[in-house]
């Protein structure tokens, strides 16, 4: 039996050897199989050819969006495959993307040209997308970034929600048509300061816009005493002179170096920027009004990004400075970007993009002031991803030095009654009787437990009562300047009949001449339930009077309805 088995095995071996000879397997082919085994494939089948198919991923090769499959010898090192090109529409123009390589569909890795091919493959073209460009249209940008089919915004945060203003754009048109620091302002300031650069440097230009914001919207009137917050086409000598004076001080106080070729090649050391900022604030008498913090290369990226968020949430823009961004094509293509630049950030937006495979992508887009002379009323954005690859070298945060005092609903001592005429009372905030409160249809509501025992008192505005329609509470401080307010608000319940189509609630501030609307509430967003309050933060600059107003278009309640509960308030003052 063993002899029979041995004879059968010899016949099989002879048959295999003869078969290989008939198929002309030479020594090289045998070596290839050994190499295959050494590389861990252990595949000794008779396949000798591999087919590679290509997905140009929205690109083109020789004017075609289709690329023919190619057949290669198995275990062959592939020759170089001509790179496709891809163009996308961004900001009303066309941007050429750089080809990065072919991604293998089998394992998601980029094909290396020193690899051997073992099986059929499907290659997908990959392109470098420049995230460091100045974005004007978010939808176009995100659709191009992800081969997306739709986008939508998820969350928006802008310092305008808190301060009722945003920083100006520097290097605007010669005429003062928008709220910009114009080239006319800068030309005069460069002449006054004696600097050599016709550009001035991105550091000083960013500082000028930042200080303009402090004067225009934060109440630091020695910087700008008569700045406007509306868009008109005329200018006044006082406004022109104040803007020129501001720019002159910044250029004179901030050391900037000329480097490279051309008058726009400048560099400002961050330490020189901060020194110039402090010197300029001191020249206006505000050296003790601000704390300047610099988050630099010693801080983690997450720390710097959080510093941006926190400052925006407090109503204060930041200035950032970047290195050469790794995906910037400025040396290849004429694309304006944020690389190696000082610029301002004053808001952020969260966006969702759904790509052509149905996958969701979330992005943070920063609202910026790049100070290249863009229109004041058009937004410019930066993809946050451009900053998280090590390009964000510094964040400079300006914080107001404030004192704080909180008052709770028991502070007022009002009766449990809503008067149809306005009433005035005096209160002690910091000193005796230094706060006058005027109120209309505002009073206490007493709550009771299940045993009819008095519990909490709630301070309430009530507008939805027949013959009413309006309620307000007015705060006038005599010895301090109010800089901010952190307030808790809610609706009493779900049956107050306060909706955006029949009611309004807003905050007004007195600027020394007239009352100005500072913030409009969205009634839908106010939480329902007297104990379910939401905190709102507002930054005012420097004011003495503010008021909260609630209005109803059709007051028909037989009871006191349309109620807004005012909880704890923390005032910032100086």
User: What's the pLDDT score for residue 465?
Assistant: 86
pTM for this predicted structure: 0.73
Residue 141 located in a structural domain: no
Query: Is 138 among the domain residues?
Result: no
Q: Please tell me the distance from the alpha carbon of residue 29 to that of residue 78, in angstroms, as a whole number.
A: 17
Query: Residue 249's pLDDT is what?
Result: 96
Same domain, 220 and 274: yes
Asked, for residue 174, whether it belongs to a domain, the answer is yes
The pair of three-digit structure tokens given for residue 164, joined into one six-digit string: 């009722």
What does residue 420 show for φ and ψ, rounded to 5 degrees? -85, -5
Burial environment of residue 455 by CB neighbours within 10 A (0 to 12, 13 to 18, 19 or more): exposed
Domain boundary among 347, 368, 400: 400
> What pLDDT is stored for residue 131 in this prediction?
78
Site of tokens 């203003």: 165
List 77's β-bridge partners, or say none: 116
Same domain, 172 and 243: yes
Identify the CA nearest to 461 among candidates 500, 428, 504. Answer: 504
Q: What is the 3-state secondary structure (H, E, C) of 21-53?
A: HHCCCCHHHHHHHHHHHHCCCCCCCCCCEEEEE
Distance CA 249, CA 150 (A): 47
Q: Check whether residue 296 and residue 444 sit in a common domain.
A: no
Q: Is residue 142 part of a domain?
A: no
H helices within 256-401, ranges in order?
270-283, 301-313
Rounded Cα–Cα distance for residues 288 and 402 (Å): 10
Provide the b/e sequence for 170-180 (b: ≥16 CB within 10 Å): bbbeeebbbbb
Domain termination residue (choose one: 400, 426, 444)? 400
- The string of DSSP codes covering 208-246 is HHHHHHHHHHS--TTT-SS--SS--S---HHHHHHHHHH
- Same domain (yes/no): 449, 555: yes
pLDDT on residue 345:
97
SS3 412: coil
- Domain-located, residue 291: yes
In a structure prediction context, what are the per-residue pLDDT tens digits for the chain, which is 574 residues long? 433 433 444 444 444 444 444 433 333 333 333 333 334 444 445 678 999 999 998 889 988 999 999 999 999 888 888 889 888 777 666 777 778 889 998 888 888 877 888 999 999 998 877 777 888 889 888 988 887 788 998 889 999 988 888 998 888 654 444 456 777 888 889 999 988 888 889 999 999 999 999 998 888 889 988 665 444 434 566 677 888 999 999 999 999 987 765 556 788 999 999 999 999 999 999 998 999 999 998 999 999 999 999 999 999 999 999 987 655 443 334 345 788 899 999 999 999 999 888 899 999 999 999 998 876 667 899 999 888 877 899 999 999 988 999 999 989 989 888 899 999 999 999 999 999 999 999 999 887 777 877 778 899 999 988 888 899 999 999 989 999 999 999 999 888 889 999 999 999 999 888 999 999 999 999 999 999 999 999 998 889 999 999 999 988 877 788 899 999 999 999 8
Residue 278 lies in a domain: yes
Indicate left, alpha or beta for 325 from its phi (over 0: left) and psi (-120 to 50: alpha).
Answer: beta
Pair (423, 471) in one structural domain = yes
Geometric angle at alpha carbon 380, from 374 and 382, rounded to 5°: 135
From 353, 372, 400, the end of a domain falls on 400
Same domain, 55 and 93: yes
Contacts of 488 (CB under 8 A, 6+ apart): 533, 534, 535, 536, 566, 567, 568, 569
Query: Where is 2: in which H helix or E strand?
Result: helix 2-22
- Which of these, 417, 418, 526, lies nearest to 472 by C-alpha position? 418
List the beta bridge partners of residue 96.
Answer: 87
173 is a domain residue: yes
What lies within 8 Å, CB to CB, of 63 at 6+ separation is: none
Name 170's bridge partners. 181
pLDDT of residue 481: 92
Tell me the two tokens of residue 280.
């300029």
Strand-pairing partners, residue 444, are 459
Residues 396 and 409 placed together within one structural domain of the fold: no
251-287 burial, b at 16+ Cβ within 10 Å, e below that, comes to bbbbebeeeeeeeeebebebebbbebbeebbebbebe
Closest among 510, 418, 511 to 459, alpha carbons compared = 418
Q: How many residues can be counted in the chain? A: 574
Considering the domain boundaries, does residue 136 fall inside one? no
Q: What is the CATH number of the domain that holds 526?
A: 2.60.120
State how far the alpha carbon of 46 is from the alpha carbons of 23, 26, 50, 118, 423, in Å: 10, 14, 12, 12, 98
> How many domains is the chain partitioned into structurally?
3
Beta bridge partners of 286: none
Distance (Å, rounded) from C-alpha 231 to C-alpha 229?
7
Residues 112 and 229 in one domain: no
DSSP state of 524: G
Round to the nearest angstrom and report the end-to-end CA distance of the chain: 108
The answer to whether residues 418 and 385 belong to one domain is: no
Q: What are the backbone angles phi and psi of residue 197, rounded to the nearest 5°?
A: -70, 135
- 424 and 487 within one domain: yes
Rounded (10°) angle between helices 202-217 and 237-253: 140
Domain hosting residue 42, numbered range: 27-130
Taking the C-alpha atoms of residue 534 and residue 487, their distance in angstroms, rounded to an integer, is 8
The answer for residues whose C-beta is within 8 angstroms of residue 566's C-beta and 6 or more apart is 409, 459, 460, 461, 473, 487, 488, 489, 548
Q: Do both 391 and 485 map to the same domain?
A: no
Measured distance CA(564)–CA(529) in Å, rounded: 10
Beta-bridge partner residues of 128: 98
508 and 549 in a single domain? The answer is yes
User: 522 to each of 77, 340, 367, 504, 514, how far by Cα in Å?
Assistant: 64, 40, 22, 8, 24
């Amino acid at each position: 039996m063993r002899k029979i088995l041995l004879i059968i095995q010899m016949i099989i071996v002879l048959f295999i050897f003869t078969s290989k000879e008939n198929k002309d397997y030479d020594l090289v082919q045998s070596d290839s199989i050994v190499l295959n085994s050494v590389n861990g494939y252990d595949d000794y089948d008779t396949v000798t050819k591999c087919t590679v198919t290509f997905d140009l991923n929205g690109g083109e090769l020789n004017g075609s969006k289709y690329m023919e499959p190619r057949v290669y010898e198995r275990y062959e090192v592939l020759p170089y495959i001509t790179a496709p090109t891809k163009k996308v529409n961004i900001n009303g123009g066309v941007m050429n993307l750089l080809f990065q390589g072919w991604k293998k569909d089998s394992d998601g890795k980029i094909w290396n040209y020193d690899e051997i091919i073992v099986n059929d493959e499907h290659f997908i073209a990959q392109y470098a997308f420049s995230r460091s460009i100045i974005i004007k249209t978010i939808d176009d940008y995100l659709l191009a970034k992800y081969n997306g089919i739709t986008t939508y915004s998820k969350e928006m945060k802008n310092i305008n929600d808190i301060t009722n203003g945003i920083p100006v754009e520097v290097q605007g048109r010669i005429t003062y048509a928008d709220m910009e620091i114009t080239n006319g302002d800068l030309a005069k300031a460069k002449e006054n300061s004696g600097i050599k650069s016709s550009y001035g440097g991105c550091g000083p230009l960013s500082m000028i816009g930042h200080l303009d914001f402090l004067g225009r919207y934060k109440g630091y009137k020695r910087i700008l005493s008569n700045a406007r917050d509306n868009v008109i086409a005329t200018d006044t000598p006082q406004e022109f002179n104040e803007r020129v004076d501001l720019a002159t001080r910044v250029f004179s106080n901030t050391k900037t170096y000329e480097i490279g070729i051309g008058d726009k090649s400048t560099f400002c050391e961050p330490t020189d920027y901060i020194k110039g900022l402090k010197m300029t604030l001191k020249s206006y008498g505000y050296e003790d009004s601000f704390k300047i913090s610099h988050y630099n290369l010693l801080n983690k990226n997450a720390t710097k990004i959080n510093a941006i968020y926190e400052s925006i949430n407090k109503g204060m823009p930041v200035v950032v400075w970047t290195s050469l961004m790794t995906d910037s094509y400025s040396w290849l293509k004429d694309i304006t970007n944020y690389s190696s630049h000082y610029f301002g950030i004053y808001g952020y937006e969260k966006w969702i993009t759904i790509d052509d495979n149905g996958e969701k992508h979330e992005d943070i887009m920063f609202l910026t002031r790049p100070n290249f002379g863009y229109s004041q009323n058009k937004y410019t954005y930066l993809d946050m991803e451009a900053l998280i690859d090590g390009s964000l070298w510094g964040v400079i945060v300006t914080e107001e030095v404030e004192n704080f005092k909180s008052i709770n609903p028991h502070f007022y001592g009002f009766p449990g009654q809503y008067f149809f005429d306005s009433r005035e009372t005096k209160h002690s905030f910091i000193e005796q009787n230094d706060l006058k409160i005027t109120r209309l249809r505002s009073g206490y509501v007493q709550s009771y437990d299940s045993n009819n025992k008095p519990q909490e008192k709630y301070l309430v505005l009530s507008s939805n009562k027949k013959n009413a329609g309006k309620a307000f509470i007015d705060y006038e401080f005599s010895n301090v300047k109010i800089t901010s307010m952190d307030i808790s608000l809610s609706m009493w319940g779900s049956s107050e009949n306060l909706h955006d189509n029949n009611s309004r609630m807003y905050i007004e501030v007195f600027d020394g001449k007239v009352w100005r609307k500072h913030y409009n509430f969205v009634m839908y967003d106010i939480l329902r339930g007297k104990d379910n309050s939401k905190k709102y933060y507002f930054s005012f600059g420097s004011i003495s009077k503010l008021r909260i107003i609630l209005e109803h278009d059709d007051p028909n309640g037989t009871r006191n309805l349309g109620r807004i509960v005012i909880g704890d308030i923390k005032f910032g003052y100086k």
